[in-house]
Structure 1
Amino acid sequence: MPQFDMPLERLREYRPELAVPGDLADFWSATLAETREHDLAATFEPAGNGLALIETFDVRFAGFGGHEIRGWLHLPAHRTGPLPAVVEYLGYGGGRGLAHERTLYAQAGYAHFVMDTRGQGSGWSAGDTPDPDAAGLPQQPGMMTRGVLDPREYYYRRVFTDAVRAVEAVRSHPEVDARRVAVTGGSQGGGISLAVAGLVDDLAGVATDVPFLCDFPRATTLVDTDPYSEIARYLKVHRDHVDRVFATLSYFDGAILGRRAVAPALFSVGLVDDITPPSTVFAAYNHYAADKSIEVYPFSGHEAGSQLHEVAKLRWLAERLA
């Protein structure tokens, strides 16, 4: 597939004028305050993983609405002193999987927390967390239009709040250094990472790969691939909902929430990516408020730098979590 978006020199300057909700700060402050009325109640139960060098714990904590959210915490088996931590959020449709599946950051010597994504986990990796607050309104199959007519009911309000609580949960573990916590993820996980960067003001770093959930107005009109096309298909039927839908999405746009961030960030982008178009990634990058850098992979799609970029991320995290 050829490069289809703007030339790189234009991408580096692309800063779209996005409609920022006037009550954005109040909306998220109230959401998190409401959630924190529920005891975090984080528990860490040993779980067998078949690995000799990593210990895994089955994690449960109270997310949005006090709902139980699952996760894995991986720790190096041989460790001394409190560890820096990396919280990982997952791509669209995936769940936390099995206990041995995602352990890269524990192999690098960190506490590695993998958050299950509510209501997902039947696409490419299994999940264990339901979404009890799923709105009963009509939606396009998938998650993108679940509750999309009202920001208070929208699916990602619950997910982003869960993600903030995941940071709080890992910080509550006695073997984690609460001052040195970074977040990461690819695609949907990258978008969640950007949201958390805008909602948690004392992270050590944010490594966001090909972030999804950014610059919704451009993404939904530029590509016809899922998941963005779920929104387009919904609006093709609900023709009178366009303004309401994009008003809701503005509360969850990584290119908007990232303007609130203070943690340093590492982005990645593939210039042949028709899932998260390059311009939408650069929209988030160019609007990101804190220190930042971006790795550009000209001939890569949604995989971006893949294993090569993992090397770059490990090097970058080592500098921030030392």
Structure 2
Amino acid sequence: MLRHIQDTIQQLQAYRPELTKMPDHDAFWSQTLQEAKERPLNEQLIEMDYPIKQITAYELTYHGFDETPIQAYYILPKKIEGKLPCLIFFHGYAGHKNSVSHYMKWLIQGYAVIAVDVRGQGKTGDYSKYSSDEMGTWVTKGILIKEEYYYRKVYVDGVRAIDFACSREEIDKDRIAIIGASMGGGIALAVSSLDNRPKLTVADVPNMCDVGLAMKQKFEGSLTVVEKFLHRHPEYIEPVYTTLTYFDNLNNCENITSKTRISVGLKDLVCPPMPIYGVYNRIKAEKSIEVFPFSGHDMAIIDHMDKTIQFVNDNL
């Protein structure tokens, strides 16, 4: 059995897919980020009356890609000595940023935390208009036109969270980490590929990796909705796949400069291991991968969070 696992991992380590970038890929993202920089952040902080007295917690709103107020927590240890390292968190698909107490394991160690409700999810709305929006979920919103596509806005919203962190005097701008799992892991990779300010990236079982192969291999999860959309509209297969290339971490991951740790479950039916390895194998920055042979997308590993805490402490 051990040899079988070793053989599987060796096959995954050898997988190096070709990029699927369109000729205007880099120009598209350069223009997108430039447009975002020209818009005001319009951040607002409202202090929360939170029962844990060793922290200061704020409800944070800021403008991301457009004028949608992105909802987040901004949480600090009560006692601040010097500049604080900052962790920016993104949640999974159809999730939310959880409660303030969820982040205490980081706050008691002296980290600042920004926890974001992704656009259209949790408490964050979405002011954008989409010409294609018939499936009732985010992954297909605007999918026929790259300028409209949902993930364009989500990735920029993530970059703007870094803008907020860097605007704060109490934050050490050289010690910022981006952390997420599933959709949040995909966002973490995307944001770190579009912005070189993060020092560290933690992406657990990330989505939006090697999307063409992922759609072929996955049996559950958000990309299955894309397949349902194409089942209804086979005439849109080419434009949909073209749009997705701009948001596939495969086509941006070589730009990552932060030290990166990815995790993968070899039995994951939502974010299959081979597409994740396809992205991991093309990352040029310092990197490592945690492999769980008998885990699926739930990543229910007792010591995985302990390893994450250790990894962040050692590298941030």
- TM value normalised by structure 1: 0.92
Contact 2:173 2:197 in 1 (8 A): no
Q: Give the structure 2 partner of residue 295 of structure 1.
A: 290
- Count residues in correspondence: 312
Which stretch shifts more, 137-146 or 95-104? Answer: 95-104
> What does residue range 217-228 of structure 1 map to in structure 2 within 5 Å?
217-228=212-223
Q: Give the structure 2 partner of residue 200 of structure 1.
A: 195
Cα deviation, 1:262-314, whole Å, max 9, x if unaligned, reads 11101111111111001111111111121100011111111236442211111
Which SS does the other structure have where 1:12 is aligned?
Answer: helix
Task: Tell me how far 1:138 sits from its aligned partner.
Answer: 3.9
CA distance in 2, matches of 1:72, 1:215: 31
- Unaligned runs of 5+ residues in structure 2 are none
Q: Give the structure 1 partner of residue 310 of structure 2.
A: 315
Task: Tell me how far 1:38 sits from its aligned partner.
Answer: 1.5
Task: Tell me how far 1:202 sits from its aligned partner.
Answer: 2.5
* CA spacing shift, 1:237–1:95, aligned 2, 3 Å: same
Q: Give the structure 2 partner of residue 182 of structure 1.
A: 177
Which SS does the other structure have where 1:185 is aligned?
Answer: strand
Which SS does the other structure have where 1:180 is aligned?
Answer: strand
Q: Give the structure 2 partner of residue 23 of structure 1.
A: 24
Which stretch shifts more, 153-162 or 64-73? Answer: 64-73
**Paired residue type of 1:270:** G
Q: Give the structure 1 partner of residue 137 of structure 2.
A: 142
Contact 1:89 1:185 in 2 (8 A): yes
Q: Give the structure 2 partner of residue 276 of structure 1.
A: 271
Question: Where do 4+ consecutive residues of structure 1 move more than 4 Å?
Answer: none
Q: Give the structure 2 partner of residue 89 of structure 1.
A: 90
Cα deviation, 1:115-153, whole Å, max 9, x if unaligned, reads 111111xxxxxx211111140424323111110011100
- Unaligned runs of 5+ residues in structure 1 are 121-126
Contact 2:132 2:143 in 1 (8 A): no
Q: Give the structure 2 partner of residue 241 of structure 1.
A: 236
Q: Give the structure 2 partner of residue 123 of structure 1.
A: none
**Paired residue type of 1:160:** Y
Q: CA RMSD in A?
A: 1.8
- TM value normalised by structure 2: 0.94
CA distance in 2, matches of 1:250, 1:46: 40
CA distance in 2, matches of 1:216, 1:139: 21
